[in-house]
Amino acid sequence: MLSKIRLGIVAELLTSEWVAFSELQRALDASQGNLGAHLAKLVDAGYIEETKTFVNRRPLTQYRLTSQGRAAFVAHVAQLQSLLKETS
Amino acid sequence: MEEQLNAAQARDHIEMVARILEESQQRLCAGGEFFVVWGLFGALVTLLGHFVAKGALPATSLWAALVALAGAIVFSIWRGRALRMASERRSLLQREFFNVLWITIGMAFVANLAVFNIFRGIASAAIWNFADAIVLLYIGLHGNRRAQVAGVVVVVSLVVANFTSGDVPAYVLAAGVLAGYCGFGIAELVSPD
């Protein structure tokens, strides 16, 4: 979760039941390839889940945060905050 | 992992998270068409029940309520699926809202279908106004001013109906649902924000 875009993905998913790939791309202003690569890393880490369906014959890929991802996000933000405290 | 980040980067990341979370605190708004359909259903049931009780309509007219109920359910399922497929994000708040919506409407059904010896006559109609007011005020709690106003309209209809007699309570309750629930739905459809 060290990468800014991966942290952004998890933050986007934090208050949502699920978010589509296109919506994440719009929200994070990321390129398709870059976003896809970061999403794959988060899926591999077990932080998010991917669901692929078809809507009106078009593929729809949705992502949701896992409980493991939520816990990792909380721990990561706490570490960021402690880092800021130490340096201030 | 964090030792690889410096303080400026950490601050940047924290600010980004804060911004994303702040933007996600969206105003709760559900499809207006659901409110129109269920508002019409609520008003129909109230008026139908009243006219049957009054003898102005035969008891068999109550079948119209069941047909309307089936229509409203089928529409809600069909439209709900279509909206879900068309949307690109579903917030946890929306999920919570739909839980509240279905529990409230479900309890109104239970009161109408299984507790009719307690909620008789106009009380069974008033149950729908209670359910509608809870749903609207819940939406209102999440920053939707129209829903706040609409919820108050439905609550006022309940209070006014309580202090009137004869045919008036049924008309007031039906008007409350039409103005509050349907009116809110129409307002959301005409101008979503």
How far, in Å, CA of A39 to CA of B152, rounded? 45
Let me know if residue A74 belongs to a domain: yes
Let me know if residue A53 belongs to a domain: yes
Say yes or no for a CB contact (<8 Å) between B2 and A22.
no
Looking at residue B30, its pLDDT comes to: 62
| Identity of the residue in A2, A17, A19 whose CB atom sits nearest the CB atom of B88 | A19
Tens-digit pLDDT profile for residues A49-70: 999 988 777 888 999 999 999 9
Phi-psi region of B75 (alpha: psi -120 to 50; beta: other; left: phi over 0): alpha
Q: What percent of chain B has pLDDT over 70?
A: 95
Say yes or no for a CB contact (<8 Å) between A18 and B4.
no
Q: Which domain holds residue A75?
A: 4-83
User: Domains in chain A: how many in total?
Assistant: 1
Let me know if residue A72 belongs to a domain: yes
CA distances from B16 to A9, B13, B21, B173 (A): 11, 5, 9, 49
- pLDDT bucket at B2, cuts 50 / 70 / 90: very low
Tens-digit pLDDT profile for residues A8-52: 999 999 988 899 999 899 989 999 999 999 999 999 999 999 999
Tens-digit pLDDT profile for residues B114-171: 998 998 888 988 999 999 999 999 999 888 899 999 999 999 999 999 999 999 999 9
Say yes or no for a CB contact (<8 Å) between B93 and A15.
yes
Let me know if residue A71 belongs to a domain: yes
Among the ranges given (B3-12, B24-33, B146-155, B179-188), the one the predictor scored with the smallest mean pLDDT = B24-33
The chain-wide mean pLDDT, for chain B, equals 88
CATH code (residue A49): 1.10.10.10
Looking at residue B1, its pLDDT comes to: 41
Say yes or no for a CB contact (<8 Å) between B5 and A87.
no
Let me know if residue A60 belongs to a domain: yes
Let me know if residue A88 belongs to a domain: no
Q: Which residue of chain B is at minimal alpha-carbon distance from A79? A: B2
Let me know if residue A10 belongs to a domain: yes
Note which residues in 3-22 of chain B have CB less than 8 A from chain A: 4-5, 7, 9-14, 16-17, 20-21
Q: Which among B1, B167, B138 is positioned nearest to A83, based on CA atoms?
A: B1
